[in-house]
Amino acid sequence: MSHAPAFAPFVWADYFETGFGEVDSQHHRLVDLVNVLAQRAASGAEIEPAELAHVLDGLGRYALHHFATEEALMEQGGLDPRHLRMHRQLHADFVAQVEAMRHTADPTRVVPVLYNFVTSWLTFHILDTDKGMARQLRAIQAGATPAEAFEAEAGQGRDPGNVALIGAVRRLLGLVAERNNELALINASLEQRVAERTAELSAANLDLRQAQQRLVEADKMAAVGQLAAGVAHEINNPVGFVTSNLSTLRCYAERLLALAETADRLAGTAASSDDWQAARAAADFDFIREDLPALLDESTRGLVRVAEIVQALQGFAQAAPVETSRVSLAKLLDAAIAATAGSRRPGQQVTRNYGEMPALPVNPTLIGEAFKALIDNAGQALGGSDGQVSIRAGRRGGELQVEVEDTGCGMDEATRSRIFDPYFTTRPVGQGRGLGLSSTYRIIHQHGGRIEVDSVPGKGSCFRVVLPLG
């Protein structure tokens, strides 16, 4: 804004002059600034923040220098304290107005407002207050006392209309300064309230999203539970038959093998011994005798695993823990840590940090299984590498929180969104059934709690169990 204005609403004239060279020189600069502002205001062009800051910085520096010059002149000239107080207050109001414009909500309006303000200052302050200051200084130089000069200035005859107008504008400028200060305080308060309300809305939105997620997961669990009840019922019967038949088949196999051994002894002394040995070799009897028990054992283990899966399915259909008792969760956590110790490799450490943990009415078997699943999952996340599983627990307001955090592989969002789905697992085939975390989710919800997960790929995961105190 240093270019010459295309037109000049104010032209420097002798009626602006006070007779004090430094003051008049500075007033002349203000007239030039007002003319530049007039051109910019008339253009209607928006002002950039950096340009606005430059203008306001320059005006602020000018004001401080000019006001210091005037106030030093008044003190050196010995002006009456009443005039000094009034004059200084007007200077302070000017500075406050300029600073208030830095925080305007609509930067496009700053130039017109600044132009109107500086024009009013130029018209009424310089032509009234500063001219009055000059007259008092000359009166004192001529021999009058400061009080006489002040009283003479206050009582000199003036046009009543101009006096009234100047007084009104001066009061208006003071009122505007007060209102700007009030607006600044209101704006600050409003910004704080907006920030608080925004934080409240953000928290409410987060709670809503979490509630929606819990509803989705609850619906999912309900559907799985309904399906599980039917599937478990249908599978239980044939599993029972096969298990019973395998037991009988084992007995038959043992008896047949014993009979074959007896035949071996008898055939050794009989004339048909060669025929028996040939038939025995053709049937690969030695291999069958070694392989048959292994096949039966493997089949039995498979049926046991099927039975476990059926039992887990039946668990999904169970509405709530059958029995509860007040139990120390610290003991359940310690027991879960001990129970999972064998699955952790050397170099994988477990740390625990328990705060206040009142006893809760829970089903200790179910909650213990949930804790074991979480701790085992954390150990699995470490893989074959060294790492740490941190277990923290304690009271948080009206809830008890248990956190199981690992320094393992972490999860991406796609994996995190499915970890509580039954039969979902990231482990290799045959190394996990995908029921540990889904069972944990069901158990925690049966106890009126919730489970939350934070995870960063490559940095680890934190599972947070939240149970109500009661």
The CATH number of the domain where 440 resides is what?
3.30.565.10
**CB within 8 A of 450, min separation 6: which ones?**
214, 444, 465, 466
Same domain, 360 and 432: yes
pLDDT of 405 over the 90 cut: yes
pLDDT of 433 over the 60 cut: no
Compute the half-sphere exposure of residue 263: CA atoms within 13 Å on the CB side of its CA: 15
Please give the helix or strand (H or E) that residue 296 lies within, else none: helix 285-317
Q: How confident is the model at residue 78 (pLDDT cuts 50, 70, 90)?
A: very high
pLDDT of 451 over the 80 cut: yes
pLDDT of 462 over the 90 cut: yes
Report the pLDDT value the prediction gives residue 44, as an integer from 0 to 100: 60
Q: How confident is the model at residue 270 (pLDDT cuts 50, 70, 90)?
A: low
Residue 49 covered by a domain: yes
Same domain, 311 and 333: no
Other Cβ atoms less than 10 A from the Cβ of 257: the count is 15
Same domain, 237 and 354: no
Report the pLDDT value the prediction gives residue 470, as an integer from 0 to 100: 67
Same domain, 305 and 421: no
Average pLDDT, the chain: 78
pTM across the whole model: 0.41
Can you give the length of the chain in residues? 470
pLDDT of 310 over the 80 cut: no
- Angle at Cα 346 formed by Cα 344 and Cα 347, nearest 5°? 105
Q: Is 336 exposed, middle or buried (0-12, 13-18, 19+ CB in 10 A)?
A: buried
Domain that holds residue 264: 217-317
Among residues 297, 317, 337, the one where a domain terminates is 317
pLDDT of 220 over the 90 cut: no
45, 55, 119, 324, 385 from 9: Cα distances, Å = 19, 19, 10, 89, 81
Say which residue, 187 or 446, is predicted with more confidence: 446
Say which residue, 306 or 406, is predicted with more confidence: 406
Residue 180 covered by a domain: no
Rounded to 10 deg, the angle between the 160-267 and 81-100 helix axes is 40
Share of the chain above pLDDT 70, in %: 74
Residue type, 321: P
Residue 253 covered by a domain: yes
Same domain, 308 and 439: no
Report the pLDDT value the prediction gives residue 131, as an integer from 0 to 100: 85
Same domain, 23 and 79: yes
Report the pLDDT value the prediction gives residue 427, as an integer from 0 to 100: 56
What would the pLDDT profile of 355-388 be if each residue is shown by its tens digit? 988 889 998 888 998 999 999 989 888 887 889 9
Say which residue, 59 or 136, is predicted with more confidence: 136
Q: How confident is the model at residue 108 (pLDDT cuts 50, 70, 90)?
A: low
What would the pLDDT profile of 185-202 be if each residue is shown by its tens digit? 676 677 788 888 888 888
The whole-number average pLDDT for the span 404-418 is 87
Residue 7 covered by a domain: no
Report the pLDDT value the prediction gives residue 247, as an integer from 0 to 100: 80
pLDDT of 178 over the 80 cut: no
Other Cβ atoms less than 10 A from the Cβ of 173: the count is 19
Same domain, 332 and 297: no
The answer to whether 425 and 433 are in contact (CB under 8 A) is: yes
What would the pLDDT profile of 52-76 be if each residue is shown by its tens digit? 778 788 888 888 888 888 899 989 9
Number of structural domains found in the chain: 3
Say which residue, 369 or 216, is predicted with more confidence: 369
pLDDT of 96 over the 80 cut: yes
Give me the residue label for tokens 């170099």.
Answer: 347
- Angle at Cα 105 formed by Cα 100 and Cα 110, nearest 5°? 65
What CATH number does residue 119 fall under? 1.20.120.50
Same domain, 113 and 222: no
Lowest average pLDDT, out of 25-34, 108-117, 257-266, 385-394, goes to: 108-117
pLDDT of 157 over the 60 cut: no
The whole-number average pLDDT for the span 377-401 is 89
Residue 167 covered by a domain: no
Residue 56 covered by a domain: yes
Give me the residue label for tokens 């509860």.
Answer: 324
Residue 244 covered by a domain: yes
Q: How confident is the model at residue 430 (pLDDT cuts 50, 70, 90)?
A: very low
Lowest average pLDDT, out of 23-37, 147-161, 344-358, goes to: 147-161
Residue 31 covered by a domain: yes
Say which residue, 259 or 164, is predicted with more confidence: 259
Same domain, 343 and 438: yes
Among residues 317, 346, 377, the one where a domain terminates is 317
Among residues 273, 296, 317, the one where a domain terminates is 317
Report the pLDDT value the prediction gives residue 334, as an integer from 0 to 100: 93
Say which residue, 139 or 253, is predicted with more confidence: 139
Question: How many whole angstroms separate alpha carbon 83 and alpha carbon 140?
Answer: 13
Return left, alpha or beta for 259; rule: phi > 0 is left, psi -120 to 50 is alpha, else beta.
alpha
Same domain, 248 and 292: yes
